[in-house]
A = this chain, B = another copy of it.
Amino acid sequence: MPKLADHGQRRAQIAEALLRIAGSSGLHAVTMRSVAAEAGFSVSVVQYYFESKEKLLLFALQYLARRVSERVEARVRAAGSPPTARRVVEAVLTQALPTDAESRTFHLVYTAYAVLSVTDPALAAQPFMSAPDEMRAFLTDQIRAAQSAGEAPADLDAQAEATGLLAMSAGLGTSVLLGQVTAGDALAILRYHLGRIVPEPEGVRG
């Protein structure tokens, strides 16, 4: 066996190069050649570690989704102990906003993928496309828990609130991406609406 090469690391390097391109120039600018150049390798290397462009794209998106997911979980864990429903919900929803380069790239690439998946069944069947469904179920449970604990009005339709909030968060994220509102404004609007549903227990903000 000749040179040592950590396949996992190489694949990560290439995936990150792809995401840099997708984040700065769009998903349509992602080609075997552009990714290879960005990663500092030849096209053959990209071919060697990913047998096709489709496999590469899928891996890169899962790679990104996993990193974002980890960030959300970290935010939830850091939401205080014990975490109130309000803090958990807020952590999940605000994490979806494109506030920094990574979440911006995630939003952009994920939306581009979503648009493609509408007319491409193969993409729609990908596992990460069901993430919003899980988020919705999670938020619904959180709101119901808050209602049980008396932290939220009992007459709320938890499912409708969760779905609406998630849609609002996604829509605000897109608006931020388009430059129609700033990330700060989007955050404030999200907190405003959150306050009308699951009021914050008391005083201090983190």
Contact = CB atoms under 8 A, between A and B. Distances in A.
Central interface residue in A29, A111, A115, A119, by most chain B CB within 10 Å: A115
Contacts of A166: 171
Interface residues of A, number: 47
A126 to B, nearest CB: 12
A115 B23 CA distance: 11
Interface in A7-48: 24-29
Contacts of A164: 168, 172, 189-190, 192-193
A98 to B, nearest CB: 10
A24 B111 contact: no
Central interface residue in A166, A181, A193, by most chain B CB within 10 Å: A193
A120 interface: yes
Closest 9 CB pairs of A and B: A167-B171, A171-B171, A26-B119, A168-B168, A170-B171, A167-B172, A160-B192, A160-B189, A167-B168
Given A28-B28, A167-B172, 11 more contacts: A29-B119, A112-B115, A132-B178, A157-B192, A160-B188, A160-B189, A163-B181, A166-B171, A167-B174, A171-B172, A196-B196
Interface of A: 24-29, 108, 111-112, 114-120, 124, 129, 132-133, 136, 157, 160, 163-164, 166-172, 174-175, 177-181, 185-186, 188-190, 192-193, 196
Contacts of A192: 157, 160, 164
Which applies to chain A's interface (DSSP): helix, strand, loop or mixed? helix
B115 A180 contact: no
A189 B171 CA distance: 15
Contacts of A193: 160, 164
